[in-house]
Chains A and B, each alone.
Chain A
Amino acid sequence: MAIRDIVVNPSLLPVLSLSAETREQCMQLLAVLDPSADSYSDSEERALAASKEQKQLFALLARLRGLNRDAILRVRDTKQATAEARQEIDRLHLQLQNLYYEQRHLTGEIAACESYDHKYLALPLIPLEEFLSLHPEHRESDEHDLMIARINHEHAEREKLEQARQELLKRKQALIAENNKRKEDLASLDQDLERFIDVSLCPGEFRAMLLTPGRPPSPSRRSSKRTCINSNNSNSPPTLPHLVLYQVTSPSSKHVLVMIAKNEDLSSLQTVDTHPDYTMNVSTPSPRPPPPEKPEAIRTRFKVIAAFWAVIVFLGFPIWWKTTSIYRASLPVPEMIDWADGKTCRPVFPLKIRVETPHLPDAEAQHLVWTTQHTLDDLNEFSAHHLRLKLSNDNADEQLDELADTALTVRLLPQDDLINPKSELQHDTTQLDVFYSPSQIPPLSSSNPPLSAYVAGELQQLFTEEKAIIAQILSNSHAASATANSQPPSAMLSSVSPQLAESIAKRLRRSMKYADTYHLAFSLFTPGTEPSSWDIQAAVHDYITPLLQAFSPISNFTVDTQVQLYATFAPTAPAPEYDQGHAAWTLKPEDLSAFINAAEWPLSPSIGPGPTINFILYVPDAAQSPLVVKDSIATSWVVPQWGGVVLLNPSNGTQLRHLSRGSLQAPFLTFSHQLLTLLGAPSTPAALPFRLQTLTRIRAASLLLSASSTMGSLARLTESLPSIPIPATVAASVATTLSHLTSACEHLRRGRFQAALADARIAETEAERSFFEKSMVGQMYFPDEHKVAVYLPLLGPIGVPLIVGLLKEVKKAIALRKARKAN
C-alpha cells in the first residue's frame, strides 16, 4: 500500500512531497554521478553539476529536517493532549464508581431499615383488644400513640410487679437470717445434748436419741413435741454409733431444720429450707480457718511487744519516777512513835531537898534524915514524883552545883518552949524553917520519931498540889504512859481530893500554852472619854516587872500598854442590869464572855512569835458605876487562855480624869495574880520562888510531853500521807528534838529541872518547826488524779493496746507451757 494512503494528515503532506522531491534530487545527483551515463564530458563539469545537485539536496534535506522536527513536536503535543484527556476520563470514571457504591450502600441501608426487627414489636404486651377495652380513650388514636400508651401501661404494670418482688425478696432474706439463727441454735443445742448425753449415760455405751422419728418435714406440723428416749430403753441397734435423729419445728416459721447425723467431733448442719416449693436445699459449707501462724511470726510479735514494754519499764517508768518523785528524808518513825507513846522516857521527878541542921550533931541529923526519908517514901503513892532528902554539908563546890536544882531547903531550928514542932515557909526563898524543941530530937534508936513524921508530913503537904498537877499532865498527855508506869498517875489522882483535882484541871485548861515569849498587853478601856491617862509606867514597874523577872528563866515577856476611849459594848452583848440590893450595876456571870467587844476594841495580838496575854482595865461610865459581876460581886475575872479583865469602879461615883499610881495598885495586883494563873503556876503555897520552882517542873513535864506527842503526830502524818515531801530540815529538826528530849529526860531523872526545861524548850521549838514546815504542805495541791486527767488522752489510747497485747502473749505463754506439760 502506498504511503499516501496511510499518511493522510495534512500536516504530513508537505513532508511527503518534500521527501519525494528530495528523492528526486537524490536520483538526479546519482544520475550525475553515474559514470555510465556520460552526459558530461569532463569530470570537472560533472563535479560542478554534482555539487550543484548536492547543494540543492542539502537544502532539501534541511527543509526536511525542519519538517521532521515539527512533526515530532506535534506528536508530543498530541501525546500531551491525549494524556490529559485520558486523565479526565479516569476521574470521571472514578466518580462514577463512587456514585455507584453510594447508591448501593443506600440501597442496603434502606433494606436494613426496612427489615429491622424492633423490640416493641416483640414486647409481650397485652393484646390490643384487651388494652383498648381497658383504655377505651385510645381507640381513636393512631397506631404510634397507641403503641406508646400501651408501652407506658406495661411499664407501670411491671414496676408494680418489681416492687412486689423486692418485698418478697426482703422477706426471703429475713427468713434466711432466721434460718441461720435456728441453725446456730441447733448447733448449741447439739452441744447441750451431747453434754446431756455424756452426763446421763454411761460412757462408751451406744445410745441413740430419737425425736419424733421418721416424721417427714411438713409445714402443717406446726408444733411437734420433742420426746427423748433414753437409749437404755430403746431397742435401737447397738451398731449404730451416736445416731441422733431429731426434728425441731420452729414455732414461729415454716423452716424446719433437720439434723441428719451427728458425730462426736464433726458437726455438719444441713438446712432444709421449706419454702413453699419445698425443693430448694441449701447447704452451707463451714469456712476454712487460716493456716496456723509461722513460729517466726509469733516470735517476732513477742519480740515487738517485749521491746515496747522494755522501753516503758526501763526508760519511761524511771523517768516518770525520777521527775515526779518527792524528796522524803528518812525519819526515825518508830523512835518518834515510842516517844509519843511514852515508851522511851518515863518522866520522873526526883526532888532534892536539902536539910540543914545547924544545931544537930551529924549522926543524929543523919538519922533524922533517914527516918524522915523513910516516912516520906511510905507516904508517897506516886513513884514518878518523889522527894530525896539530903543532909547539907559544907562542901562549897558541891553546893554551887546543887543549889540551883534544889527544890527546897529545910532548916531545922531548935526553939524552946514548943510543944509541937511548927514550920514556916519563907516567902522570898525556897526555904522551909522547922522549929522544934530540943527535946524532940529523936534518939538514934527510934525508928519512927514524931519529928520525922512531922517533917515528912509537912513536905508531903507542900508538894501535894504539884504532884496532882504533874499526875494530871501525865495522865492527860498519853494514856499509854500510864500503862508503862509502874504506878499509874490516875492512881495518884484518885488519892487527891476531888475539889483539888477539879481546880487543877480547871487551871490547866485556863493556862496558856507554853511559849518562849509572851506579849503582855495592858489596856485601859472606858466607854466615855475619861480617864484618858494612867500612870502605867510606874504601875508596870512596881507590880509586873518583878514578877516577869522571876519568870525570866521560863519565858520572855514584852509589855505593851494602850488607852482606848469610847470603848462601848458590842450591840449584841447584854447590857448590865441595876441591882437594887447591892446598889450596883451587875453583869451576869454567863454574859462575861460577851463583855469584850472583840470587833470594836483594838485588841489585835502583838506581832512576833508567841501568844499575847491581854489585861483589860475597864473603867465603867459614871452612869453605870459601880459595875460588878452578879452574885459574886467580883470585879475581875480570867478569860481562859486569853487574859484577864478588871473592872475599876471610881470611888464615890466621880469620874476620874487620870488614874494615879495608887488607884492602879489593886487592879495591877489582880493582874499579876491573873498572870500567874494564866502561866499555869500552882496556887499554893504562897511563896513565889517555890511556886516558880514548881512551875519549872510542870513546864518541863508538859513541854516534854507536848514535844513527844508532836513527834508522834508528825510520824503518823508522814505515814498516812505518802505524797507529802519531807525536806532535810525536818529530819534535822526531828533529830534535834529527839536528842534534846533524851537529854531533857536524863536531866529530869537526875533532878536537874532547869536544864531539863531548857532542853525541853528547844525540843518543843524544834518539834513545832518540823511539824509546821511550810514546804511539806505545798504538794498537796497537785494530786495525782489531776495529772492523770490531763494525760489521759495519751495514756488511754497507748495503754490499752499495750496491755491487751501483753495479756494475749501471757495467755499464749501459759497455754504453751500447759501443752508442754501435758506432753
Chain B
Amino acid sequence: MTVLSLLSLLFLAAFSSLASANSDYLESLVLQPLPQSALLASFNFQSNDSQTSFDERHFRYFPRALGQILRHANTKELHLRFTTGRWDAESWGPRPWNGTKEGGTGVELWAWIDAVDDEAAFAKWITLAQSLSGLFCASLNFIDSTRTTRPVVSFEPMGTHAASDNLHLLHGTLPGEVVCTENLTPFLKLLPCKGKAGVASLLDGHKLFDASWQSMSVDVRPICTQTGECVVQIDQSVDIVLDIDRSKRPRDNPIPRPVPNEQLVCDTSKPYHSDDTCYPLESTSEKSWGLSEIFGRSISGSCPLTEGSTDGTVCLRVPHEREVHATDGAVEVQRPDGYTRCFTLESSTPFDLAIPEQEATTQVPLDEPVLRAERTIVGHGQERGGMRIIFDNPSDTNAVDFIYFETLPWFLRPYVHTLQATITGRDGLRRQVPASQFIKETFYRPAIDRERGTQLELALSVPAASTVTLTYDFEKAILRYTEYPPDANRGFNVAPAVIKLGSADGGASHPIYIRTTSLLLPLPTPDFSMPYNVIILTSTVIALAFGSIFNLLVRRFVTAEEASAMRSQTLKSRLGGKLVALRDRVKGKTAKTE
C-alpha cells in the first residue's frame, strides 16, 4: 500500500520529466485531501530551453532575469527554496515530492558553481546570492561565509554535467527569513504564462500564505539525453497545505463562526441531551469544497504553451467513488490505481472543480513516514545548552540508513566529544550506547568565529522499531556589541537539519529528504545603552578628579574676611553696585513723577 501511493507521486514526477521531450513547457496541479480537513495542492511548472540558445542568451521559456544571473555567476545547477510552516508528518504522512522540493523554514539555496578554485566559487556564490536577492525580493544577500557550507554527501547534482566542469557545491540557509507575497510575485513572473493562465492563475498571495504549510521551489538543471541534446530545465513548484475550513471563510469576514443550532449533529443517546444541550458528533462525511471556494478564483483556462502535452493538468487524488463536479469541456481520465483522476483543461474556458459533501467509505491511504526526526535545544542558562536529536524508525523490519546534515552558526559552539546516543526500543527501555554504534561516518568542519559556521554530516543507521536519541552539549558565544540584531532578545535562528534517506528501494536515484524545524537559540544579550553609560560615568569621574586636583594646585587660599574684601573689589560686585544704582535712578524717576 505504501509503496503504491509513493509510486504514484513518483510516477507523476517521472512522467513529467519524460514528457519534457515532447513539450518545452509543462504545468500540473495535484490536489489531495489530507486528514483533519487539510488539502495539499502541489503546483509544478517545468520549462526547457535548449542549451545552445541558453548559451547564446536567447530566452524563450526560460526567464531571462534568472538566466543571466546564472550565466553571470557561472552557476550550472541551482536550487532555491522558500518555506514556511511545519509539515505535520504525524497526520499528513510523507512529504510531497519526497521532500525534494522543499526547504527548511525560511530560505534555502544551494547551487553547483563552475569555478577554478574555492575562492572563485565563493565569489561567484556571493554574486549569485545577491542577484537572486534582488530578483526574489528576499534577504538572500545575507548569505555570507558564516551561513555558507559545502556539504559533502548530503546533496547530489540532479542534472547532467560535463566531466570537464569543475563544480563546487555551496549551500546556504536563512532560517529567519519570512516568506511572503513579495517573494511570490517575482516567482510568478518567471513563469511563461505569468499568473494569467493555467494552474498558476490560482496562486494568490492571500491564500497561499494563509496556508498551514507552504513551500516554493526553483530548480534549474541541465539535462542531456543520450543523443547529446541538452536542455536547461527550470522546475518551479509550489506546495501548500490549506485548511479547508479556514480557506472557505469569506475573505472580508474571516472570523470563525459557531455552527448554527439547526445544523448541529447531536448525540441523542446522551442522557443530558435536550433542546439546549448537545453533545456534538464528529461528522463522518467528507467535507465539500471547490477550487473557487478554496482559492477564491477558478483556473482561467490552460496555458497555451502546454499544448503539446497529452496528460491531464489538474489531478485529484480522491477515491473513484467520490462524486466530483468539473466544468464542462475538461476531459477527465481516471487512473487505474483507484484514487487518481486527471483533467485536461481547455485553453479558453475557465475550469472549476467542486466536490460535494459525501459519506466517506474509503480513504486515500497515506504512507507511514520512513523516519521521524525531531531536533530541540535543551538545557538552561545563558552559557551552555545542549542539542537533542530524536530519530524514530517506525518500521518493524528494516533499519534506516541516512545522512544527517546540520549547519550551526558560529556562535553556537558544539562539543562533539559530548556526542552521546541513547536507544529506546518499543519496550520503552532506554539504553545508553556508544554513538559509534549508529554513526557510520562523520564529516565535521569546525566553526571559525565570524567566518564560518559548524558543518556536521553524519551517516547514521537506526535499527528497526527503535528510537535513537543523539545529544551533544554546546556553548553559547558572546557576540560583539554591533553584531546583535535589533531584536536580539528574540533569539537567534538555527537552521533546520537536513536528513537525506536513500530511496525506499535502496536505489540512490530518488533520495528522500526530511528537514527538521528551525530552532531559536537565546543568547546572552547585553544592555545596549551600556557603552554610553560607561563613557559618561567615567568621564564624569575623571572630570571630578581632575577638577579638584587642578583647583587645589591653582587656587589661592585666603580667609573668609579677606575673600569678602576681595570680592567687593571684583567685577561682579562693582557690576552689582551699578545695577542697584541704575535701578534706584529709575525708581527715583518714577517716584518723582508720582
What residues make up the interface of A, taking CB atoms closer than 8 Å to B?
A: 181, 184-185, 187-189, 192, 251, 286-290, 293, 297, 301, 304-305, 308, 521, 523, 529-530, 532-533, 536-537, 540, 558-563, 565-566, 600, 602, 604, 606-608, 790-791, 793-794, 796-798, 801-802, 805
Contact = CB atoms under 8 A, between A and B. Distances in A.
B57 A559 contact: yes
B59 A287 contact: no
19 contacts: A181-B580, A185-B577, A185-B580, A185-B584, A287-B564, A288-B565, A289-B569, A290-B558, A290-B566, A293-B556, A304-B550, A529-B303, A537-B56, A560-B68, A561-B64, A562-B58, A565-B196, A793-B536, A794-B538
Looking at B64, B578, B581, the one whose CB has the most chain A CB atoms below 10 A away is B64
Nearest to B536: A793
B570 to A, nearest CB: 11
Contacts of B565: 286-290
Given A559-B57, A602-B65, A791 B539 contact: yes
A722 B562 CA distance: 53
Given A791-B539, A802-B550, 7 more contacts: A185-B581, A287-B564, A290-B559, A530-B304, A602-B65, A797-B546, A798-B547
B487 interface: no
A607 B69 contact: yes
A181 B558 CA distance: 26
A184 B580 contact: yes
B194 interface: yes
A312 to B, nearest CB: 11
B532 interface: yes
B264 interface: no
Contact of B193 (A189, A297, A529, A607): A529
Contacts of A305: 554
List the 8 closest A-B pairs by CB distance, nearest first.
Answer: A797-B543, A794-B539, A290-B562, A562-B64, A287-B565, A793-B539, A566-B196, A529-B304
Interface in B521-551: 532, 535-536, 538-540, 542-544, 546-547, 550-551
A289 B194 CA distance: 97
Contact of B561 (A288, A529, A565, A791): A288
A558 B56 CA distance: 10
Nearest to A808: B554
B64 A607 contact: no
Interface of B: 53, 56-61, 63-65, 68-69, 72, 131, 135, 189, 192-194, 196-197, 303-305, 532, 535-536, 538-540, 542-544, 546-547, 550-551, 553-554, 556, 558-559, 561-566, 568-569, 576-578, 580-581, 584, 588, 591
B546 A608 contact: no
B197 A188 contact: no
Contact of B554 (A304, A604, A607, A798): A304
A566 B193 contact: yes
A801 B578 CA distance: 28
A189 B64 CA distance: 96
B45 to A, nearest CB: 14
A565 B194 contact: yes
A305 to B, nearest CB: 6
Nearest to B347: A529
Given A290-B562, A290-B566, A532-B305, A791 B577 contact: no
Given A188-B577, A805-B554, A794 B547 contact: no
Contacts of A606: 68
Contacts of A185: 577, 580-581, 584
A561 B57 contact: yes
A526 to B, nearest CB: 11
B58 A566 contact: no
A536 B64 contact: no
Contacts of B569: 289
Contact of B59 (A187, A188, A563, A600): A563
A184 B304 contact: no
Given A602-B189, A801-B547, A561 B197 contact: no
Given A607-B69, A801-B551, A537 B561 contact: no
Contact of A560 (B57, B543, B553, B559): B57
B72 A608 contact: yes
A492 B197 CA distance: 60
A308 B578 CA distance: 37
A561 B59 contact: yes
A293 B543 CA distance: 28
Contacts of A558: 57
B92 to A, nearest CB: 34
Given A181-B580, A188-B580, A566 B194 contact: yes
Contacts of B58: 536-537, 540, 560-562
Contacts of B546: 797-798
B64 to A, nearest CB: 4
Contacts of B72: 607-608
Given A286-B565, A301-B554, A607 B131 contact: yes
A184 B577 contact: yes
Contacts of A793: 535-536, 539-540, 543
